[in-house]
């Protein structure tokens, strides 16, 4: 209210603010200039990779980034991790555009949307940037390769095996999923159904319910499912959020000790329930493997060793040799079963 | 800035005092708006000179494409802020329009019909806001926070976790196309037309003056014959209409309709408007400043991304810029007024124009 009339002072203040900002940009501009153009001793073009997770400050994507950074360093390349704070469809677009403009020759990306990034990725690839997606794919025409964490079927099988270890070959179980529409959820759940139908005829899946990767919703749906289905022997959760929420409900209810719970889980978020005995074992993979394989795949694409077609093979450092599957897909690793013995080796 | 409306009526007869306290060049060049424009120029020059690969047509193209939705939403929101109200629901209106287009298109409605329905959906949000704020006279802050949540919820309810993506390729390429051989997106012609229309509306029409009058004091405005209800209602309708159009543009720019599209856009819009010198208390602000404010935010974001900073650092920079642009002029005014007060007490008599200036308050 007081500031409206004194223009002569307002401009002076704004001028100082603008000057200060210019100085900051000038200083940091000098340091930023070096990034895009580091040379290396690799015979061909130097590797320069941008890592774009769905969102920053997420333990899962941080762990994948650790793998990508290590591999890029092993290849004497330049590595930068950039990205948005939220998983909105368009939030990654400016970052991809910038990486392409900087002339980076590789992008490792987990896409928030299968098609919203299409135009940005196409422009980048036309300029010679190799695009490798991991964890969440885009439409195949927008990328060179997709690095899948593990074969879907092996993850489903690992979850079923852990459950059978606990409840035996007889019993009724339920499945807690993230959402009925997500591609990877459907693949994992149908994998579980197939494995049980093929190899464990004594097990009956009596219920499937979805918690939308939401803590409270998963908690409430678990409570409802257990109360309306008497005699349930176990729950398999294909949602990492759901596993922790279901454990939180079970550990504090009368079902504690009577219902077996397993599924996929994040080690740090699930550790407490291993320690209190609600969960005996759970399954996941090491996200860092996806980052490592992605970085080596970009090197192989740049060198022309592979083009992304089925049957191409490349070596990813210590991880060994990988073969591209139908649809330009590479499987980064195998499921890891976590229990009290090995949980302390992982931090994500 | 705002005195113009009053001095216009005082031109008849002989005056014994100056029309303006300051000469023309100081009034036009040494303003908040001019400083923001200067910042845009200075930052552009420094960035182009010091960052490799920055000065390309592609940078311009991406920058303009990225600020287009923010700029289009900021134009009506500027008028709403000048009138003393606020609209926080623009991003939800954009998202609602986007989802309606995607949903109808997926249901088999022709794309023209879907676009029309999308624009009308935006207008519907404006209608609801306008009715609650202008007619029922509820506080716009509370109303538009409510409609922000309401229409976002409806959008997510319509599509769930689905994402509609199979939009016509021609429309998608049109939304991303540049004038051949340049980095100037075609959509900017529409944006320029919108900027001119809103600038004329706010600065050169009776309606624009009634917007300022409403923002400077709604009771005075009403007693002076301004139809304040109609002014506010029109502004919210305009905001909804523009948000509906942006929703359509957004759909083809990204080729995607999702429940969470454009979430958080309202903060970028409000930041651009306030950085452009529009007072959150109403009655003050100019379109040119808002255009420069939005461009400055887009430019700073672009520069920081080029220097490999992530969104957390970028948000800190934009937030800092906003706080500085609001706080520093206020602080300096307070300091200089204290100094002037002390000086007046001790000796020097006031200059004539300065005393006139003070009486005007």
A267 to chain B nearest CA, in Å? 26
Report the chain A residue with the minimal C-alpha distance to residue B310: A82
The least confident of A221-225, A297-301, B229-233, B348-352 is B348-352
CATH number at residue A267: 3.40.50.2300
Residue A58: pLDDT band by 50, 70, 90 thresholds?
confident
pLDDT category of residue B23 using cuts at 50, 70 and 90: confident
Tens-digit pLDDT profile for residues A1-38: 444 444 445 555 555 555 555 544 444 443 433 333 33
Average pLDDT over residues B37-45: 95
Can you give the pLDDT at residue B286?
95
Looking at chain A, list the stretches that DSSP marks H as alpha helix, in order from N- to C-terminal side.
7-33, 59-74, 93-101, 118-126, 152-167, 183-199, 215-228, 240-251, 267-275, 287-302
The pLDDT assigned to A246 comes to 95
Model confidence pLDDT, tens digit, residues B239-291: 999 999 999 999 999 988 988 899 889 989 999 999 999 998 999 999 999 99
Q: In the structure, what pLDDT confidence band is assigned to residue B12 with cuts at 50, 70 and 90?
A: low
Mutate to test the interface with B, among A30, A72, A116, A182 (most CBs of B within 10 A): A116
* Least confident span in A71-75, B207-211, B296-300, B322-326: B322-326
**How crowded is the C-beta side of B235, counted as CA atoms within 13 Å?**
34
* Mutant choice from A21, A48, A177, A179 vs B, greatest count of B C-beta within 10 A: A21
Element (H, E) at A172: strand A171-177
For the residues B284-307, what does the mean pLDDT come to?
A: 94
The pLDDT score that the predictor gives to residue A27 is 43
Q: What per-residue confidence (pLDDT) applies to B7?
A: 47
Domain termination site, one of A226, A256, A284: A284
Q: Do A7 and B27 touch (CB under 8 A)?
A: yes
Sign for the CA dihedral angle at A71, A77, A83, A87 comes to negative
Please give the mean pLDDT across all residues of chain B. 88
Phi-psi map region of A346: left, alpha, beta (phi>0 left; psi -120 to 50 alpha): beta
Reported ipTM exceeds the 0.90 cut: no
Confirm whether A25 is domain-assigned: no
Cβ–Cβ < 8 Å for B94, B108: no
- Measure CB to CB from residue B325 to each of A17, A31, A115 and give the nearest one: A17
Pairs of CB atoms within 8 A across A/B: 188
Residue A141: DSSP 8-state: G
Q: Supply B2's token pair.
A: 């705002």
Residue A7 to residue B24: CA distance in whole angstroms: 13
Judge: B161–A85 Cβ closer than 8 Å, yes or no.
no
Task: Give yes or no: residues A74 and A145 share one domain.
Answer: yes
Mean pLDDT, rounded, of chain A: 86
Task: Determine the pLDDT at residue A17.
Answer: 53
Once rounded to an integer, what is the mean pLDDT over residues A196-218?
A: 92
pLDDT the model gives residue A114: 82
Model pLDDT, residue B92: 97
Average pLDDT score over residue span B298-313 = 91
Q: Which residue has the tokens 């009138």?
A: B83
Q: Is B193 exposed, middle or buried (0-12, 13-18, 19+ CB in 10 A)?
A: exposed
Question: Is residue A26 assigned to a domain?
Answer: no
Tell if the CB–CB gap between B311 and A85 is shorter than 8 Å: yes
Q: Is residue A11 part of a domain?
A: no
A265 with A59: CB under 8 angstroms? no
Q: Is A8 within the bounds of a domain?
A: no
Residue A26 is predicted with a pLDDT of 45
Q: Rounded mean pLDDT of A321-348?
A: 92
Q: Distance between CA atoms of B145 and B274, rounded to whole angstroms?
A: 18
Domain final residue pick, A226, A250, A284: A284
CB contact under 8 A, B360 and A16: no
| Measured CA distances, B153 to A206, A212, A220, B98, B125 (Å) | 32, 15, 20, 13, 13
Do B305 and A95 count as a contact with CB atoms less than 8 A apart? yes
- Chain A environment of B212 (Cβ under 8 Å): none
Quote the pLDDT of residue B56. 87
Chain B nearest CA to A28, separation (Å): 8
Q: Is the pLDDT of residue A154 over 90?
A: yes
Residues B345-349, mean pLDDT to the nearest whole number: 59
* Cβ contacts of B281 on chain A, cutoff 8 Å: 1
Q: With CB atoms and an 8 Å threshold, state whether A22 touches B46.
A: yes
Residue at A16 is within a domain = no
Which among A132, A72, A124 is positioned nearest to A93, based on CA atoms? A124
Decide if A56 is inside a domain: yes
Domain count for chain A: 2
Of the residues A252, A268, A284, the one at which a domain ends: A284
Q: Going by C-beta distance under 8 Å and a sequence separation of 6 or more, which residues neighbour residue B222?
A: B228
User: What is the pLDDT averaged over residues B49-56?
Assistant: 89
The tens digit of pLDDT for each residue in A111-130 reads 988 888 988 999 899 989 99
Domain boundaries, given as residue ranges, for chain B = 25-308, 310-361
Question: Most A CBs within 10 Å: which of B35, B61, B216, as the mutation test of the A interface?
Answer: B35
What pLDDT, on the 0 to 100 scale, is given for residue B273? 95
Tell me which range, A45-59, A306-320, B43-57, B116-130, is most confidently predicted by mean pLDDT: B116-130
Question: Is pLDDT at A42 greater than 80 in this prediction?
Answer: no
Q: CA of A23, closest CA in chain B: separation in Å?
A: 9
For residue A291, tell me if it sits in a domain: yes
Whole-number Å distance between alpha carbons of B143 and B57: 42
pLDDT at position A185: 86
Interhelix angle B57-82/B287-306, rounded to 10 degrees, is: 140
Q: What is the distance between the alpha carbons of residues A76 and A48, in angstroms, rounded to a whole number?
A: 9
Q: Tell me which chain A residue has its CA closest to the CA of residue B26.
A: A8
Stated as kind and residue range, the H or E segment containing A145 is strand A145-148
B285-to-A189, B70, B358 alpha-carbon distances in Å: 57, 17, 21
More confident residue, B228 or A12: B228
Chain B residue with minimal CA distance to A113? Answer: B163
Task: Please judge whether A82 and B258 are an interchain contact, meaning their C-beta atoms are less than 8 angstroms apart.
Answer: no
Q: Would you call A13 and B331 a contact, using CB atoms and an 8 Å cutoff?
A: yes
Provide the token pair at A127.
Answer: 């300029």
CB contact under 8 A, B336 and A91: no
What is the percent of chain A where pLDDT is above 90? 66
Phi and psi at B120, nearest 5°, equal -65, -35
* Top-confidence range, A77-91, A280-294, B345-359: A280-294
> What distance, in Å, lies between the first and last C-alpha atoms of chain A?
50
Look up the CATH number of domain B25-308: 1.10.3470
Q: What is the pTM of this model?
A: 0.78
Give how far Cα B228 sits from Cα of B206, B215, B234, B237, Å.
13, 10, 10, 14
Where residue B351 falls among pLDDT bands split at 50, 70, 90? low
- Max distance between CA atoms of chain A, in angstroms, equals 84
SS3 of A106, please? strand
Q: Which domain holds residue A119?
A: 48-149+287-332
Q: What is the SS3 assignment for B16? A: coil
A56 and A123 housed in the same domain: yes
Pick B39's closest partner by Cβ from A4, A21, A95.
A21
Interface test with B, best of A1, A9, A56, A79 (most B CBs within 10 A): A9
Taking residues B34-55, what's their average pLDDT? Answer: 92
Strand-pair partners of A134 = A147
Does A60 have pLDDT greater than 80?
yes
- Higher-pLDDT residue of B229 and B263 is B229
Residue A258 near residue A244, CB atoms below 8 Å: no
Q: A10 vs B307: CB contact, 8 Å cut-off? A: no
Count of C-beta atoms within a 10 Å radius of residue B57: 13
Residues A293 and A205 in one domain: no
Q: Tokens 């910042």, residue?
A: B39
Same domain, A127 and A250: no
Give the span between the Cα atoms of A187 and A148, in whole angstroms. Answer: 12
Asked whether the beta carbons of residue A94 and residue B42 sit closer than 8 angstroms, the reply is no
Residue B8 in tokens: 């216009």
Give the Cα separation of B59 and B41 in Å (integer): 15
Question: Rounded to a whole number, what is the distance in Å from the CA of A305 to chain B's nearest CA?
Answer: 29
Q: Specify the 3-state DSSP secondary structure of A83.
A: coil
B27: which chain A residues are within 8 Å (Cβ-Cβ)?
Answer: 7
Residues A180 and A280 in one domain: yes
């Amino acid at each position: 209210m007081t500031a409206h009339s004194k223009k002569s002072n307002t401009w002076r203040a704004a001028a100082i603010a603008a000057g200060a900002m210019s100085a900051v940009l000038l200083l940091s501009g000098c340091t930023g200039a070096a990034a895009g153009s580091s040379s290396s001793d690799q015979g061909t073009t130097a590797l320069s990779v941008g890592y774009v997770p769905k969102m920053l400050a997420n333990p899962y994507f941080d762990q994948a980034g650790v793998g990508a950074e290590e591999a890029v360093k092993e290849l004497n390349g330049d590595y930068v991790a950039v990205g948005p704070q939220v998983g909105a469809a368009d939030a990654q677009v400016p970052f991809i555009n910038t990486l392409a403009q900087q002339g980076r020759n590789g992008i490792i990306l987990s896409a928030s949307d299968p098609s919203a990034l299409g135009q940005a990725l196409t422009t980048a690839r036309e300029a010679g940037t190799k695009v490798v997606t991991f964890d969440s794919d885009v439409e195949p025409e927008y990328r060179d390769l997709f690095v899948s964490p593990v074969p879907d079927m092996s993850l489903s099988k690992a979850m079923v095996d852990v459950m059978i270890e606990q409840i035996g070959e007889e019993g009724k179980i339920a499945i807690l999923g993230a959402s009925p529409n997500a591609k990877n959820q459907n693949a994992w759940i149908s994998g579980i159904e197939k494995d049980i139908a093929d190899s464990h005829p004594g097990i009956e899946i009596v219920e499937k319910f979805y918690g939308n990767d939401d803590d409270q919703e998963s908690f409430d749906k678990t409570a409802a499912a257990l109360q309306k289905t008497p005699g349930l022997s176990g729950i398999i959760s294909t949602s990492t959020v759901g596993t922790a929420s279901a454990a939180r409900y079970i550990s504090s209810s009368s079902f504690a000790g009577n219902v077996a719970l397993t599924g996929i889980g994040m080690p740090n978020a699930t550790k407490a329930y291993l320690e209190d005995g609600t969960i005996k074992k759970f399954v996941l993979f090491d996200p860092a493997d996806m980052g490592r394989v992605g970085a080596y795949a970009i090197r192989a694409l740049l060198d022309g060793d592979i083009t992304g077609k089925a049957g191409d093979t490349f070596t990813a450092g210590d991880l060994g040799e990988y073969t591209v599957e139908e649809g330009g897909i590479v499987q980064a690793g195998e499921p890891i079963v976590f229990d009290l013995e090995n949980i302390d080796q992982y931090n994500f | 800035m705002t005195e113009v409306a009053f001095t216009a009526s005082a031109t008849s007869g002989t005056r014994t005092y100056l029309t303006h306290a300051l000469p023309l060049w100081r009034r036009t060049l040494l303003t908040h708006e001019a400083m923001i424009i200067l910042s845009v120029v200075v930052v552009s020059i420094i960035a182009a000179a010091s960052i490799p690969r920055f000065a390309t047509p592609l940078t311009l193209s991406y920058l303009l494409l990225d600020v287009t939705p923010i700029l289009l939403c900021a134009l009506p929101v500027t008028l709403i802020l000048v009138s003393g109200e606020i609209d926080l629901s623009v991003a939800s209106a954009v998202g609602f329009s986007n989802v309606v287009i995607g949903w109808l298109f997926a249901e088999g409605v022709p794309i023209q019909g879907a676009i029309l329905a999308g624009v009308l959906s935006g207008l519907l949000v404006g209608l609801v806001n306008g009715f609650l704020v202008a007619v029922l006279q509820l506080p716009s802050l509370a109303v538009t926070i409510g409609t922000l949540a309401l229409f976002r919820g409806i959008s997510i309810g319509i599509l769930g976790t689905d994402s509609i993506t199979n939009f016509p390729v021609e429309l998608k390429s049109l939304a991303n196309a540049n004038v051949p051989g340049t980095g100037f997106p075609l959509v900017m012609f529409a944006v320029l037309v919108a900027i001119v229309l809103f600038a004329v509306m706010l600065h050169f029409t009776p309606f624009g003056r009634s917007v300022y009058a409403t923002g400077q004091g709604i009771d005075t405005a009403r007693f002076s014959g301004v139809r304040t209800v109609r002014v506010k209602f029109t502004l919210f309708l305009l905001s909804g209409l523009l948000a509906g159009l942006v929703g359509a543009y957004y759909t083809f720019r990204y080729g995607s309709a999702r429940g969470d599209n454009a979430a958080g856009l309202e903060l970028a819009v409000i930041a651009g408007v306030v950085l452009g010198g529009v007072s959150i208390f109403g009655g003050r602000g100019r379109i040119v400043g808002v255009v420069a404010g939005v461009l400055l935010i887009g430019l700073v974001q672009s520069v920081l991304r080029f220097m490999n900073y992530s969104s957390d650092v970028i948000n800190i920079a934009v937030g800092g810029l906003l706080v500085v642009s609001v706080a520093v002029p206020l602080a300096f005014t307070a300091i200089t007024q204290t100094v002037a007060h002390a000086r007046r007490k001790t000796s020097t008599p006031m200059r004539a124009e300065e005393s006139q200036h003070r009486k005007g308050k």
